[in-house]
Structure 1
Amino acid sequence: MSSMFRTVLGPGFDRLHPQLRRRFSVGLASGEACTGQGVMDRIWHGGAFVKPLLALGTTRNILVPREGRNIPFMIENVPYVDTFGRETVTFVRTFDLPGRSRRFDAQMVLSPKGDRVLDYLGTHQHLASELHFRAEPDGSLLIRSGEHRFREGAVDVRVPELIGATAEVRESYDDAAGRFRIRVRVVNKYFGPLFGYEGSFTASYTNIRTCGVRPGLRPVREESRA
């Protein structure tokens, strides 16, 4: 059994930088969780029209409502089995903004066909995105979002392009600095850049068999629809 990230990347997984290979080996098979701690050099937003969307998303730990520079940052990647029996890895990001910390929560699950990762966003997993992974020639990792769906009760609809967005994440390892570097951009097809952040962090690893999943890391509600 391998990590879901090795599964979706296939042979490309071995082209990743060794530090990225370890970080994305996090899972039930490896028995490891990863905690990254560092600084986001910049958190940015698009035009003023974005602010209401960000404020709404903040109520469910989706996106970050404020801009800033040199913001302390933590990401927690912890594997567990959800209530539907699926291996899940948390991608919970905490931004220590002045006055109040903000979280951007996501839980990743392997798609039923094993060809992509499903990214459930927020405390109640109302939004779900398809993620496509690609190893780049320089050993970095590129993640791009595909279709987004909104789910609440009997409602299960595709998010229209007009109000949806494409997320692109680039993660690499800087040997000279001994740090992971990350850049995130969220762009709407019609309105342009909406939100993003970039910075660096170091990583530490723990044994999930002894540490488990800390309280508050799992979502309030889990979504079964893939």
Structure 2
Amino acid sequence: MTSIFRRAMGSAFDQLHPQLRRRFSVGLDSGEACTGRGVMDRIWHGPSYVKPFLALGASRNILVPRTGTNVPFTIENTPYTDSYGRETVTFVRTFALPGGPRRFDATMVHSPERDCVLDYLGTHQHLATDLHLTAEPDGSLLIRSGEHRFREGPVDVRVPDLMGGDAEVRESYDDAAGRFRIRVRVTNRYFGPLFGYEGSFTVRYTDVGAHGVRAGLRPVREEARA
């Protein structure tokens, strides 16, 4: 079984920088988890009128309604099998902001039906976002979000553009510094920039079989639909 990211990208996965290939090979087949630790040079959000939107998302560990510079952070990528038998990888980001840490949670699965990685946001997997991954000419990884859906019980509806955010993530490896670099930008088609961050980090790989999934990483609720 290949990683969910290789399955989504196909042969393009091999065009990534070797360090990115290893990082995004984290999965049940590799048996590895990856923990990144570093510093966000900048965390920003849009104008004051987007704050209620960010605060609402933050109640379920979606987005971060705070700003800061030189903010220590951790990202935990741990593979596991969810309640529906799917290989899942956590993307749990913790930002050590003044006044207390803030988390931005996501869990990712491969969706054969949608032919992409499906990103479930937050603690309860109510928001599902299609992710489209591309290898750039310099070996970096570009991730763009597609359709957003709200899922709860029998409800499965597309999130209107007025309420949704389009995300663009660029991750690369700096050979000279020996660090991963990341830049995230989330915008709304009507309201403009909502939230983003940029920084760098190093990683450590651990044996999932030996260490398991840390308590608190898995979502409170899991959504069956992929």
Normalised by the length of structure 1, the TM-score is: 0.98
- Mapping 1:31-110, distance limit 5 Å: 31-110=31-110
CA offsets, 1:150-169, max 9 Å, x none?
Answer: 11222211000111111000
Q: SS where residue 101 of structure 2 aligns?
A: strand
d(CA) in 2 for partners of 1:188, 1:52: 14
Q: Which is further off, 130-139 or 110-119?
A: 110-119
Q: Distance in 2 between matches of 1:205 and 1:76?
A: 10
* Match in the other structure for 2:165: 165
1:209 is matched with 209
- Say if 1:39 and 1:72, in contact at 8 Å, map to a contact too: yes
Distance 1:114 1:30 in 2: 24
**Whole-Å separation in 2 of the counterparts to 1:154 and 1:111:** 19
Residues 188-199 of structure 1: pairs in structure 2 closer than 5 A: 188-199=188-199
AA aligned to 1:81 is T
The Cα of 1:210 is off from its aligned counterpart by 0.3
Unaligned stretches of 5+ residues in structure 2: none
- 1:17 is matched with 17
Q: 1:13 to 1:142 in 2, by over 3 A?
A: same
Q: Which residue of 2 aligns with 1:219?
A: 219
**Which structure 1 segments of 5+ residues have no match?**
none
Match of 2:116 in 1: 116
Secondary structure of the structure 2 residue equivalent to 1:163: coil
Cα distance per residue 1:9-47 (max 9 Å; x no partner): 111111100100000000000000000000000000011
Q: How many residues align?
A: 226
For 1:131, what is the secondary structure of its paired residue? strand
Between the aligned partners of 1:221 and 1:147, the Cα distance in structure 2 is: 21
Rounded Cα–Cα distance in structure 2 between residues aligned with 1:47 and 1:139: 34
The aligned residue for residue 6 of structure 2 is 6
The DSSP-based 3-state class of the residue aligned with 2:30 is coil
Residue 8 of structure 1 contacts residue 114 of structure 1 at CA under 8 Å; is this kept in 2? no
Q: Is the contact made by 1:74 and 1:94 (CA closer than 8 Å) also made in structure 2?
A: yes
Q: Within 5 A, what are the aligned runs for 1:122-141?
A: 122-141=122-141
1:30-74 deviation per Cα after TM superposition (whole angstroms, max 9, x unaligned) = 000000000000000011111001111111110011011000010
TM-score (norm 2): 0.98
Moved over 4 A (4+): none
What is the root-mean-square deviation in Å for CA atoms of aligned residues?
Answer: 0.9
Task: Please tell me the residue identity of whatever aligns with 1:154.
Answer: P
- Aligned-pair CA distance for 1:113: 3.5
How many percent of aligned residue pairs carry the same amino acid? 77
SS at match of 2:48: coil
- 2-structure distance, mates of 1:10, 1:154: 33
Maintained 8 Å contact 1:7/1:114: no
